Amino acid sequence: MVFQLLKRKMSQSLIIRLMNNAEVTEKKILELKNKLEEVKKIKIQEKIKGLTKENAELAVKVEKAKNELIRLEILNGKKQYTIPGKTATVAVTNDINKNNDDKEKTTKPVKKEKEPVKKNKDKSNDTTSDVVDVRKLDFRIGKIVEVNKHPDADSLYVEKIDCGENKLRTVVSGLVNHVPIEEMQNRIVMVLCNLKPAKMRGITSEAMVMCASSPEKVEILLPPAEAVPGDLVTCEGYPREPEAQLNPKKKVFETCAPDLKTNEDKVACYKGNPLVIPGKGAVIAPSLKGVSVK
């Protein structure tokens, strides 16, 4: 009888232990499932982040390739026309235009009608060319690979800047009194690349180094840490449509200049919209807030 009681107690305790072990096991399985879900979420977020970065980099490459194609088409005599309602441009060769002109010349009976037709075409083109804002400015990232003082002007530097093109650009900057020459060498800068080349004390300047400027101080703008020569600078809300070379008579930069300023976070902006390199970050001033960018 005693043996049976002991056997029954042992069986009961064994069952209780097994039930406790089963409960502990279930908890551990549940914890493992929760951890597995967390790991999955982290991996998915990392994948999304990686794909987003890749998409941004691809967008920059596509934009860069598109602008290079437009530049080459212009160099090869192809005229650029903006499609109404779109940011894309269409290239038309001068030869085709010439052929069309020749055909018009040979049709004497419609000679009087030729001038009104041309005027209508010009008006349609003016609707796109009349837009004057930051989208017409070709801001790019460059690296100063060589800098010297101008031989005929004490306040000017003469720089050789790599803008990611086939050759270096010569740029003359009035920064001698603001930035020591040793801080200019190998510096990454934002450059306005489509100004008409102009001689400054006998040396032709092919671009402009962009700075934050106040009456008391001038600072060269700082591109993002990952920026490299040739990166294109964009402005949200103003898709890039830079002209190959700005017409000085249209005063495009002079029109945009009053709205180019740093904000309270020192970010360079146009009408409050940051100037950025997609996927890399904004262009900022070292310390100046609310001042002109020029």
217: helix, coil or strand?
coil
Nearest to 244 by CA among 122, 67, 126: 67
Query: In which residue are the tokens 């902006």 written?
Result: 269
How deeply is 151 buried, as exposed, middle or buried, from its count of CB atoms within 10 A (0-12, 13-18, 19+)? exposed
Tell me the C-alpha distance between 268 and 274, whole Å: 6
Q: What pLDDT is stored for residue 124 in this prediction?
A: 39
Query: In which residue are the tokens 């894309």 written?
Result: 88
Q: What pLDDT is stored for residue 91 in this prediction?
A: 53
Contact call for residues 164 and 229 (beta carbons, < 8 A): yes
The DSSP code for 11 is: H
pLDDT in tens, 271-286: 999 999 999 999 999 9
Query: In which residue are the tokens 């609707």 written?
Result: 127
Please list the residues that pair with 32 across neighbouring strands.
none
Contact call for residues 142 and 196 (beta carbons, < 8 A): no
Please list the residues that pair with 205 across neighbouring strands.
198
pTM of the model: 0.57
How deeply is 274 buried, as exposed, middle or buried, from its count of CB atoms within 10 A (0-12, 13-18, 19+)? middle
Q: What pLDDT is stored for residue 141 in this prediction?
A: 96
Q: What pLDDT is stored for residue 118 in this prediction?
A: 46
Q: Which CATH number fits domain 134-293: 2.40.50.100, 3.40.50.1820, 1.10.3300.10, 2.40.50.140?
A: 2.40.50.140
Contact call for residues 159 and 144 (beta carbons, < 8 A): yes
Tell me the C-alpha distance between 285 and 148, whole Å: 24
Tell me the C-alpha distance between 146 and 161, whole Å: 7
Nearest to 61 by CA among 277, 284, 236: 277
Q: What pLDDT is stored for residue 5 in this prediction?
A: 64
Domain borders along the chain are 134-293
Q: CB neighbours (10 Å) of residue 282?
A: 18
Which residues of the chain carry a pLDDT beneath 70?
A: 1-9, 75-130
φ, ψ of residue 238 to 5 degrees: the values are -135, 80
